[in-house]
Amino acid sequence: MTVPDTSAVAAAVADAHRREWALVLAATVRVTRDLDAAEECAQDAFAAALIDWQVHGVPARPGAWLTTTAKRRALNVVRHRGVEHRYLPLLVEEETTPGPGDLVDDEPGLSDDRLRLIVTCCHPALDRSAQVALTLRLMCGLSTADVARAFLVGEATMAARITRAKKKIAVARIPYRVPSAAELPERVDAVLSVVHLLFTTGHTTPAGTELVRRDLVLRAVELCRMLRRLLPRDPAVAGLLALLLLTDARRDTRTAPDGRLVLLEEQDRSRWDRQAIAEGAALVREALSSRPPPRYALQAAIAAVHAESPTWNDTDWHEIVALYGVLTQLWPSPVVALNRAVAIGFARGAAAGLAELDALAGERQLAGYGYLPAARADFLRRLGRVAEARAAYTQALSLTENTVERDFLTGRLGELGGTPV
């Protein structure tokens, strides 16, 4: 083993932090049964690595080295806990004897501490914003400042949110354990919702100047890959990973060099990530073979139709309309209905699409949703109904805060001879 230089060690530690943080923390929590103490021990282990690896070289298995170091510290912390800790509410220990509903070792990942940690972060008793914050902080090892930045809130607000969530886990005794076979699908679904939300937040930030927050997208894909390793036979996990890969495969073509939004129709398909598309398409086929098909698998199938179509004009819109049809049957939602209406517009013409969109006009859930007037505006423009299209673009503009999307809508409005109010 050669002794590396300082920058090589720093890079190795940073790499290990990105890959192994969740593993180290999840194993340490088993010892401390207290999230804060476990976080401190895990952080100490990474700090120790910076010095130790400088002297002894980077170990062959950095994750194992870090876990051992963090757990050793944790044992020390537990041994020296004073009276003030005696009444600290600790995480509920795992049952040692499996009950009738418990999972047997037929899936290797189910015994993984990381699964225990992520289902705890995404427990349904925590509100969604707390689930997301805890997942970024505990699973990805992001600092509170970074988590706050990702969701455009102040650091103090985020710190309070994380503290509240940790307190609820301890006081209400949210257990640190892998749910029973009966509960598992529902709990995995909650985890997948959080990962999906991380991805969509990164993919199109609700406000701000950049269309994509690459860091959030990468974290979401990494988490999803981890879940896939832990639950290799879960079709919902396969479906979400497929959806993320197929959507992210278009990342380089979604904005022009000057930052402008480029629609799917105008994207340079030769620059799509073929490897991600191939991987995603294979996952879609696997996930769709389960009955009923998972929601994310259907969404991924739609993304796959786009990804595998050589040109915009070759797009199989009838297939897409059919997939949205299955999606609305299994999970009725106004947003899915909106997407289906748009697909109908391309399959059967702008007038047909517009009729479908107008049928959704009364949907309360779509009242503040900018994509509805934006889609109407586009069909009206294609039909040459200029004045109505202008009004719809103006309405869409009033409903988005994203600068890149605003610029696009303003551009379209300008082409029709209008100016934003």
Partner 1 sequence: MSKYLILIYEAEAPYETATPELFGEITQEHDTFSAQVEQHGVTLLGGEALQPTGTATSVRGGSEVTDGPFVETKEALGGYYLIDAPDLDAALAVGKLCPARFGGVEVRPVMTFD
Q: Which member of 4, 175, 325, 418 binds partner 1 (CB under 8 A)? A: 175
Q: Which member of 172, 263, 264, 330 binds partner 1 (CB under 8 A)? A: 172
- Could you say whether residue 174 binds partner 1 (CB under 8 A)? yes
Toward partner 1, which CB reaches closer, 93 or 265? 93
How many residues lie near partner 1 (CB under 8 A)? 12
- Could you say whether residue 103 binds partner 1 (CB under 8 A)? no
Choose one: 74-82, 172-180, 316-324, 376-384; the region binding partner 1 (CB under 8 A): 172-180
Q: Under DSSP, is residue 261 helix (H, G, I), strand (E, B) or coil?
A: strand
- Could you say whether residue 88 binds partner 1 (CB under 8 A)? no
- Short-list 155, 104, 115, 109, CA closest to 138: 115
Toward partner 1, which CB reaches closer, 88 or 145? 88
> Rounded to the nearest whole angstrom, what is the least distance from the CB of residue 173 to partner 1 in the complex?
5
Helix axis angle for 214-230 and 184-203, nearest 10°, is 160
> Rounded to the nearest whole angstrom, what is the least distance from the CB of residue 17 to partner 1 in the complex?
31
Long-range contacts of 303-309 (CB under 8 A, 24+ apart): 303/242, 303/243, 303/246, 303/247, 304/242, 304/246, 304/277, 304/280, 306/246, 306/264, 307/246, 307/249, 307/250, 307/272, 307/277, 307/280, 307/281, 308/277, 308/281
- Could you say whether residue 183 binds partner 1 (CB under 8 A)? yes
Toward partner 1, which CB reaches closer, 127 or 265? 127
Toward partner 1, which CB reaches closer, 149 or 168? 168
Choose one: 12-20, 46-54, 128-136, 173-181; the region binding partner 1 (CB under 8 A): 173-181
Toward partner 1, which CB reaches closer, 180 or 395? 180
Handedness of CA 128, 132, 133, 139 (dihedral sign): positive
Toward partner 1, which CB reaches closer, 115 or 357? 115
**H or E element, residue 208:** strand 207-208
Buried b (16+ CB within 10 A) or exposed e, 160-194: ebbeebbebbbeeebbbbbbeeeebeebbbbbbbb
Choose one: 174-182, 196-204, 234-242, 294-302; the region binding partner 1 (CB under 8 A): 174-182
The angle at the Cα of 150, spanning 144 to 155, to the nearest 5 degrees, equals: 40
> Rounded to the nearest whole angstrom, what is the least distance from the CB of residue 226 to partner 1 in the complex?
23
| CA distance linking residue 335 with residue 231, whole number of Å | 29
> Rounded to the nearest whole angstrom, what is the least distance from the CB of residue 37 to partner 1 in the complex?
20
| CA distance linking residue 406 with residue 392, whole number of Å | 13
Toward partner 1, which CB reaches closer, 85 or 260? 85
Toward partner 1, which CB reaches closer, 167 or 274? 167
Q: Which member of 62, 141, 179, 235 binds partner 1 (CB under 8 A)? A: 179
Count, residues in the chain = 421
Handedness of CA 16, 126, 113, 43 (dihedral sign): positive
Q: Which member of 1, 104, 171, 421 binds partner 1 (CB under 8 A)? A: 171
> Rounded to the nearest whole angstrom, what is the least distance from the CB of residue 104 to partner 1 in the complex?
19
Please give the DSSP secondary-structure letter assigned to residue 92. P
What are the C-alpha distances in Å from 57 to residues 4, 9, 64, 115, 253? 6, 8, 14, 31, 41
> Rounded to the nearest whole angstrom, what is the least distance from the CB of residue 318 to partner 1 in the complex?
43
CA 235 to chain centre: 17
Q: Which member of 60, 84, 87, 106 binds partner 1 (CB under 8 A)? A: 87
Q: Under DSSP, is residue 207 helix (H, G, I), strand (E, B) or coil?
A: strand
**H or E element, residue 369:** none
Toward partner 1, which CB reaches closer, 12 or 121? 121
Terminal alpha carbon distance of the chain: 67
Toward partner 1, which CB reaches closer, 55 or 171? 171
CA 314 to chain centre: 30
User: By rule CB under 8 A, what string of x and - marks binding of each residue 272-311 to partner 1?
Assistant: ----------------------------------------
Q: Under DSSP, is residue 411 helix (H, G, I), strand (E, B) or coil?
A: helix
Q: Which member of 19, 56, 128, 173 binds partner 1 (CB under 8 A)? A: 173
Tokens 């009364």: give the residue: 362
Choose one: 73-81, 86-94, 208-216, 294-302; the region binding partner 1 (CB under 8 A): 86-94
Choose one: 171-179, 233-241, 273-281, 315-323; the region binding partner 1 (CB under 8 A): 171-179
- Could you say whether residue 125 binds partner 1 (CB under 8 A)? yes
Q: Give contact residues for partner 1 (rule: CB under 8 A).
A: 86-87, 92, 123, 125, 171-175, 179, 183
